[in-house]
Amino acid sequence: MADLPIIIPDVHFDEVESDLRTVFASGQLTSGPFGTEFERAVAEFVGVGEAVATTSATTALHLALAALDVGSGDEVLLSDFTFPATANVVVQTGATPVFVDSSPNDFSMDPECLRSLVSGRTRVVMPVDPFGQPADHAAIGAIAAEAGASVIVDAACSLGGERDAIRCGAHGLMGCFSFHPRKVVTCGEGGMVMTADPDLAGRLRTLRNHGSVRAGGPGLSFVEPGFNYRLGEVPAVMALSQVRRLDEILTDRRRTASLYDERLTGTEGLTVPRPPDRTEWSYQSYVVVLDDYLDRDRVIRDMAEERIGTTIGTYACHQHPAYSRWGYVDGDLPNSARFAGQALTLPLVPGMTLEQVERVVETLRRVLRTG
């Protein structure tokens, strides 16, 4: 068991106790005032008008696609290098997922590859901000606009990131956050759709609540078949408590990341990705790329023997059986495949000490030298 895991959720019972007592006393456990306050706080932080809290990023992304009536006959062009939830929601709508490669030196969607895949059926472009590293949203947005497609950003990891003076979550028509325990803010399971469009936000809220609207009387009117993707009040209290100190959380993660950057840059056998100009990363994870001669999975095992948690970056979706019916073969998306094989996530825990960073770095250097 690792004594230094890849992440420790930054949650504190003392911080939520009083608000939890309020929720328990009120009996209002499903969506309520804490959820509304949570939405308002995230919208204010991101600088976008509307926020619709959901039960996860997966349901946020599904809701976003449903609000655009994406379905059979449509193509959704999405990042291949991602957690497969991004692809699954596309498949659930009946649309066709078209996987876009990463840039050679950047985990996120390659705009040139995107351009080459646009077709008359392209309805939505879905770039991911991997590990809190914002994609090149200016380039991607321009290509999508030319194609007449909408952009839904999978911003699951990027709350707190920024590119070209726009905070993550505010790029594209909609941006979707996750509040899973491996994210910068967590409430166990939770998500949120951000948008500047109030009409779209109205549709998202209707679809989130079974497709219902208030009818004037005691009941509801069901105007279309919807979902129950509402976030409950207990998770809303948890997430809100962290959003209130989000600047502090981000400063701490960036401090640790810069300690890693200083110590790891130039290390033989690995590359340390760095933010491009006009970009801030949220550092949901700190991820390096090992050279091809190294066996990444062996490195993970050797680090575990030293009780240091490390893991893969994320997945190359096209390599997985769930998507085999679309006929991808080895070599189709080479950059994503290389990152899936060679990316390595290092521990980044709240208040990480210099000694902890140096222990990871020294151990990693030793492990890399042996093979």
Ligand X SMILES: Cc1ncc(COP(=O)(O)O)c(C=O)c1O
Q: Closest approach of Cβ 157 to ligand X, in Å?
A: 5
CA distances from 178 to 58, 155, 184, 231 (A): 8, 8, 9, 12
Does an H or E element contain 345, and which? strand 343-346
Q: Closest approach of Cβ 132 to ligand X, in Å?
A: 10
Q: Which is nearer to ligand X, 180 or 263 (CB)?
A: 180
In a 10 Å sphere around its CB, with 0-12 CB exposed, 13-18 middle and 19+ buried, how is residue 188 labelled?
A: middle
Nearest in space to 281 (alpha carbons), one of 138, 135, 140, 139: 135
Q: Closest approach of Cβ 154 to ligand X, in Å?
A: 5
* CA–CA distance, 76 with 150 (Å, rounded to integer): 10
DSSP-derived secondary structure letter, 172: S
Q: Closest approach of Cβ 356 to ligand X, in Å?
A: 24
Q: Closest approach of Cβ 313 to ligand X, in Å?
A: 10
Q: Which residues form the interface with ligand X (CB under 6 A)?
A: 56-58, 82-83, 85-86, 128, 154, 156-157, 178, 180, 191
Q: Which two tokens stand for residue 83?
A: 């957690």
Q: Which is nearer to ligand X, 109 or 290 (CB)?
A: 109
Q: Which is nearer to ligand X, 54 or 363 (CB)?
A: 54
Q: Which is nearer to ligand X, 259 or 344 (CB)?
A: 344
* CA–CA distance, 365 with 276 (Å, rounded to integer): 26
Q: Which two tokens stand for residue 239?
A: 């997430």
Q: Which is nearer to ligand X, 223 or 312 (CB)?
A: 312
Spell out the residues 6+ positions from residue 134 whose beta carbon is closer than 8 angstroms to its own.
108, 158, 161, 162, 163, 168, 171, 279, 281
* CA–CA distance, 366 with 79 (Å, rounded to integer): 34
Q: Closest approach of Cβ 178 to ligand X, in Å?
A: 3
Q: Which is nearer to ligand X, 64 or 367 (CB)?
A: 64
Q: Which is nearer to ligand X, 101 or 154 (CB)?
A: 154
Q: Closest approach of Cβ 191 to ligand X, in Å?
A: 5
CA distances from 44 to 110, 244, 246, 349 (A): 30, 11, 12, 26
